[in-house]
Amino acid sequence: MVNRKIVGAHYGLMDWLVQRITGVVMVVFTLIVALGLIQGAGASYESWRGFMSAGLMRFVSFLFIVSLCWHAWVGVRDIWMDYIQPAGIKLTLHVLTLLALIGYAGWAVQIIWRL
């Protein structure tokens, strides 16, 4: 292959937007949890379990996990893009990151939904 710097991937806006939106979701989730803690949800295991297993809370937690992974995907990919030059290694790292994040997400959801 010729050694040429190529740009013009025609994406990037979506990721940029996603990072902002997922960021907002995570902030909101953090505030909800903080509010719960202030109201004493963390007093005992039972109260904490009750707080987290409520239907709405499960839904919000799910959103948070998806947001976190998506947010992390864009961020970590950016790091690979900046620091790893060989395309093969870069692609491999992208794939590994994706797989890891999907795995983490599944694991986290499983934990929360098992509650």
Contact residues for another protein (CB under 8 A)?
Answer: 5, 7-17, 78, 81-82
Residue 9 CB, nearest approach to another protein (Å): 5
Residue 99 CB, nearest approach to another protein (Å): 21
Q: Which is nearer to another protein, 11 or 45 (CB)?
A: 11
Residue 40 CB, nearest approach to another protein (Å): 39
**Total residues belonging to the chain:** 115
The rounded distance, in Å, linking the Cα atoms of 58 and 74 is 25
Pair 32, 94: CB distance under 8 Å: no
In the numeric block, the tokens 């409520």 are attached to: 54
Q: Which is nearer to another protein, 17 or 35 (CB)?
A: 17
Q: Which is nearer to another protein, 18 or 60 (CB)?
A: 18
Handedness of CA 20, 25, 31, 34 (dihedral sign): negative
